[in-house]
């Protein structure tokens, strides 16, 4: 559209936002011709830091940024937004139980879901990043009953990018020659990184016979190295940086939204956590990371992929975890 779109970023004074907002401002998410009105939300204690971010946006003199609204008030931040990037969440502190973490975040995403339903544009596209992302997205969607569930998603693109990058490294090709690596399930340790449908140098990995490329058909490497490395990559970054992944998360958010809005390439599959319609025997109504393609601003789950028994077993485990998270979250609603 030629008129500006309103883009909400929550957790706007946090780490991911400090990369993300500037990528959006420079046109990486919506392209070089789409003007933007930024709505930035954080909690009152972060108001000064948020002001600093807005000063830096101003100092960046970005031609696409038509206005910046900084707010600690949910209603004003959510009003009229076309894209909602829900990054802010309550972090897990030392000694905090998973259940207690879920409880605080349920209250945040309940409020923000209600705000989406009441104040956002009816075609708003929502991406939940704050953890536990899948379940937070489910809570928001449930509380925004005025909006279609197809408007909601959670981020597993960072896991997909990590997986593609590891495959490219293993095979020895540039990462842009690797696609269709799939992440199934929860954005957590039970996620299922799956190379069986990967495309490398435009060929299906499963059909490759050349020594270099068949390396990823090495079951031992897949189950003992690749999968645990992808699953634990977030923790490895925290151990090294003493802070969680931020720039790479921002890059993943940009990729997720760009594909959703502008469409995936012909033949390309990406992973997005979206509402299950029962595909691949995943119970309806869970927010589950599926292989999808996007066209005309809509995602659709890729049908008919052959799932090996070992991948199916892992899909069942991540499904069970999501069901349990859902039950716990809904007990707080």
Per CB under 6 A, residues contacting ligand NAI are 10-11, 13-17, 41-43, 46, 87-91, 108, 129-131, 133, 155, 158, 187, 244-246, 249
- Residue 188 three-state SS: coil
Residue among 43 and 199 whose Cβ is closer to ligand NAI: 43
Please tell me whether 162 is known to bind a ligand: yes
Give the separation between CA 56 and CA 65, rounded to whole angstroms: 12
Give the separation between CA 221 and CA 195, rounded to whole angstroms: 11
Catalytic residue flag (residue 39)? no
**Closest distance of CB 154 from ligand NAI, Å:** 7
Active-site entry in 82, 187, 197, 256:
187
Please tell me whether 180 is known to bind a ligand: no
Please tell me whether 60 is known to bind a ligand: no
Residue among 212 and 236 whose Cβ is closer to ligand NAI: 236
Residue partners of 149: CB distance under 8 A and separation at least 6: 141, 275
- E-state strands within 106-210: 125-128, 152-154, 178-179, 182-184, 192-194, 199-200, 203-204
**Closest distance of CB 78 from ligand NAI, Å:** 11
**Closest distance of CB 96 from ligand NAI, Å:** 13
Please tell me whether 74 is known to bind a ligand: no
**Closest distance of CB 14 from ligand NAI, Å:** 2
Give the separation between CA 333 and CA 327, rounded to whole angstroms: 10
Please tell me whether 241 is known to bind a ligand: no
Residue partners of 215: CB distance under 8 A and separation at least 6: 170, 171, 221
Please tell me whether 194 is known to bind a ligand: no
Give the separation between CA 102 and CA 173, rounded to whole angstroms: 40
Please tell me whether 123 is known to bind a ligand: no
Q: Residue 47's CB: how many other CB atoms inside 10 A?
A: 14
**Closest distance of CB 33 from ligand NAI, Å:** 28
Angle in degrees, CA 105, 17, 70, rounded to 5 = 85
Please give the C-alpha separations between residue 46 and each of 11, 105, 133, in angstroms, as whole numbers.
9, 18, 22
9 dihedral zone (left: phi>0; alpha: psi -120 to 50; beta): beta
Residue nearest to ligand NAI (CB): 14
Residue among 74 and 213 whose Cβ is closer to ligand NAI: 74
278 with 177: CB under 8 angstroms? no
Give the separation between CA 195 and CA 203, rounded to whole angstroms: 13
Binding residues for substrate: 92, 98, 131, 162
Q: Which residues are part of a known binding site?
A: 42, 92, 98, 105, 129-131, 162
Q: Which residues are annotated as a binding site for NAD(+)?
A: 42, 105, 129-131
> Annotated catalytic sites, by residue?
187
């Amino acid at each position: 559209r030629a008129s500006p779109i309103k883009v909400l970023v929550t957790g706007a004074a946090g780490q991911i936002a400090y990369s993300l907002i500037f990528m959006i401002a420079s046109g990486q998410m919506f392209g070089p011709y789409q003007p933007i009105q930024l709505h930035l939300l954080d909690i009152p204690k972060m108001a000064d830091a948020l002001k600093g971010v807005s000063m830096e946006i101003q100092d960046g003199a970005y031609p696409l940024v038509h206005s910046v609204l900084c707010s600690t008030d949910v209603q004003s931040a959510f009003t009229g937004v076309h894209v909602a990037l829900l990054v802010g969440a309550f972090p897990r502190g030392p000694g905090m139980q998973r259940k207690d973490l879920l409880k605080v975040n349920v209250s945040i995403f309940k409020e923000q879901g209600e705000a989406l339903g009441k104040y956002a544009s009816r075609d708003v596209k929502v991406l939940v990043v704050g953890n536990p992302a899948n379940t937070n997205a489910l809570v928001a969607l449930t509380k925004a009953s005025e909006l279609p569930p197809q408007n909601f998603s959670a981020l597993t693109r960072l896991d997909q990018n990590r997986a593609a990058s590891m495959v490219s490294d293993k095979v020895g090709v540039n990462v842009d020659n690797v696609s269709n690596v799939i992440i199934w399930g929860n954005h957590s340790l039970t996620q299922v990184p799956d190379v069986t449908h990967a495309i490398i140098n435009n060929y299906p990995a499963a059909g490759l016979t050349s020594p270099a490329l068949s390396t990823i058909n090495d079951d031992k490497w897949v189950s003992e190295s690749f999968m645990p490395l992808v699953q634990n990559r977030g923790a490895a970054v925290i151990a090294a940086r003493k802070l969680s992944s931020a720039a790479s998360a921002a890059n993943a958010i940009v990729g997720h939204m760009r594909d959703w809005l502008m469409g995936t390439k012909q033949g390309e599959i990406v992973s997005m956590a979206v509402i299950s319609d029962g595909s691949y025997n995943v119970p309806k109504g869970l927010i589950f990371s599926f292989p999808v393609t996007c066209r005309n601003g809509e995602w659709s789950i890729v049908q008919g992929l052959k799932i090996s028994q070992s991948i199916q077993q892992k899909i069942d485990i991540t499904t069970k975890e999501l069901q349990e998270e859902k039950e716990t979250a809904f007990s707080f609603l």
